[in-house]
Structure 1
Amino acid sequence: MFLTRFRVNTARAGARRLLSSPQLLHGAVMASFAEPLPPGAPTAGDAAARVLWRIDHNSRSEVLLYLVSPQRPDLTHLVEEAGWPTTGGWQTFDYGAFLDGLAAGSTWTFRLTANPVHSIRRTPDEPTKRTAHLTQRHQAAWLLKQQERSGFTVVEKAPERRLLSEGDEHELVVHRQRSVSFGKNDRVRAGRHKVTLVTATYDGRLRVTDPDALRRTLTAGLGKAKAYGCGLMTLSPARG
C-alpha cells in the first residue's frame, strides 16, 4: 500500500475545475495508475484494499490531495494541470510499514472526511431511503457508531475539560460540512444525472482497539461515497 500527498495550486484554472467536481477529481485520481484496480478490487495483502482519496483545505493557499492506493501512483498529469510543473511534485510513501506497526492501545490524532448517512423509512411498508445526517451532533454520533467494527475508539475527555453537559464527551471536532452537487454519467439511462453529497470532516484523537480492523479501515475506507473523496482516514502521532 502507498500513501501519497500532492499540493494543489489553487491559482490555476485546472485546479479550480477539478476541485469543483468530485466526479472530475475521481477521474483524475484513477488516471494516476497505468493498470488501475477497479475500486474495491481484492489485493494479495488485503481483501478490501482500494483507491481512496481526500482533499484537505488547510487554508486558502494550502489545499492537499491525499491518496491511498495498492499501487504507486504517477501524478504527472495532475502536476501539469493543477500543480507547479517546474518546481512542485508529489510525495509517495510506503504505507505498509506504518500499517504493520499499529498496536492495540496506541493513541493517534486522525482526520477523516466522510459521507455520514443512515437509512430511514417514513411508513412500515415503504422501502428504506439513504438520508444524510445534517447536524454536527448527528454527524458526530454517526462516527461514534462506527468505532467498534472499525478498530478504534475516540478518546474521551476528562470530565473537567468538557465544555457542555452533553455532546462534548469525546476529543472530536466536526467541521467543514458541505453539500456538493455534480453531474454523473448514467450508463443505464444513457445520460447524466445529478448527484448530491453531504460531507463532513472529523478531527480528533483515537485509541487503537483492534489493529487488524483499523488497518482495513485505513485501506478500505469508512462509510459511503468513497469514489468521491470520502472515507479516507489518516493518522498522525498524538502529542501530549
Structure 2
Amino acid sequence: MTVQAIPLHLSRLFPSAQHQHTARDLGSPYALHQTLRWAFPGAGQPDTLLPDGERLLWRREVAADPETGEAVPALLVQSVTPPDWGALNARDPGYLSGWEVRTLDLRHALTPGRVLHFRLHANVTVRRVDERGHTARHGLHHPDEQLAWLDRQGDRHGFEVLGADITGTGRVRTRKGRTTITLYTVAFEGALQVLNPVALAGAVRGGLGHAKSLGCGLLSLAP
C-alpha cells in the first residue's frame, strides 16, 4: 500500500485583531470559509468552486505571534492547492498580520504500525431515523458516545485510537444564506497507530466527519 504523492500545504494564519472583518469571521464559520477562499484560484467568480481535488480544511487555535511571542487567535489551514495569502491581504488590506506555510509529504510519515500524536476538532454526529421514517443528524453529547464515534472513524479510515482525551466541546451556530446551522463540536487529542496508510492519508486530505467547510474535520498528525 503506497500513499499517493500529493503534497499538502499547511498554513498558520494570524488574523489582525484591529481589522474590521476579523470579529465577524471568527464569529461565523461560514463567513470565515468564504474569506479563506480568496487565497485560491477562481474566488469571487459566480458559481465557481474550489479547484478540482481540493478540500479546504481549517481549524481555529491559539498560537504564538511570530513577532511578539504572545498567545493570539490563529487559524490552521490545510489545502492541496498552494495558497496565495498575499492575494487575500491585497483584497482586504491588513486582514492578516502574518502567515506561515509549509508543505507536508505523507508518503514517509504514514507507515504501518507507526504511532503518531493526533489532534482533531470534529462535528460529532450520527444520523437517526424518527418514528415517521425521517432522518436527521444528531449531536453526540456523552463522552463515551464521542469516543466511540472516534473509534468508528478509525475503523473506516485505517487507524486505531490508542488513547484519546476530549479537550473541549461546544455548540456553534452559523448562518449560510437564510439557513441557520448548528454544529456540535468536540476537540480530541491523543495517540493513534497507522493500520492502512492509504486510507489514513485519504482521511488527512479529506477530513473526518461532517461540516468540513465550517472548521471541522482537520486531522493533524505529528511524531
TM (normalized to structure 2)? 0.82
Q: Do the aligned residues in 1 keep the contact of 2:60 with 2:75 (CA within 8 Å)?
A: yes
Distance 1:11 1:178, change over 3 A: farther
Gaps of at least 5 residues in structure 1 are 44-48, 156-170, 186-191
Partner of 1:50: 55
Partner of 1:172: 164
Aligned-pair Cα RMSD in Å:
2.3
Cα distance in 2 between the residues matched to 1:63 and 1:55:
7
Give CA-to-partner distance per residue, 1:61-87, whole Å, 9 cap, x none. Answer: 332211111211122335844432xxx
Partner of 2:195: 209
Cα distance in 2 between the residues matched to 1:173 and 1:233:
15
Q: Do the aligned residues in 2 keep the contact of 1:14 with 1:81 (CA within 8 Å)?
A: no
Cα distance in 2 between the residues matched to 1:58 and 1:68:
16
Cα distance in 1 between the residues matched to 2:116 and 2:39:
29
Distance 1:197 1:81, change over 3 A: farther
Please state whether the residue corresponding to 1:62 is helix, strand or coil: strand
Q: Do the aligned residues in 1 keep the contact of 2:42 with 2:49 (CA within 8 Å)?
A: no
Gaps of at least 5 residues in structure 2 are 1-7, 65-69
Match for residue 33 of structure 1 among 35, 40, 50:
40
Q: How many residues align?
A: 203
**More moved, 49-58 vs 62-71:** 49-58
Matched, 1:74 2:84: yes
Structure 1 residue 10: deviation in Å?
Answer: 4.0
Partner amino acid, structure 2, of 1:38: L
Cα distance in 2 between the residues matched to 1:217 and 1:38:
21
Match for residue 20 of structure 1 among 6, 27, 33:
27
Matched, 1:64 2:64: no
Of Structure 1 and Structure 2, the greater strand share is in: 2
Give CA-to-partner distance per residue, 1:164-208, whole Å, 9 cap, x none. Answer: xxxxxxx211122111112211xxxxxx12111111111111111
TM (normalized to structure 1)? 0.77
Identity of aligned residues (%): 30
Match for residue 103 of structure 2 among 94, 97, 100:
94
Cα distance in 2 between the residues matched to 1:111 and 1:83:
24
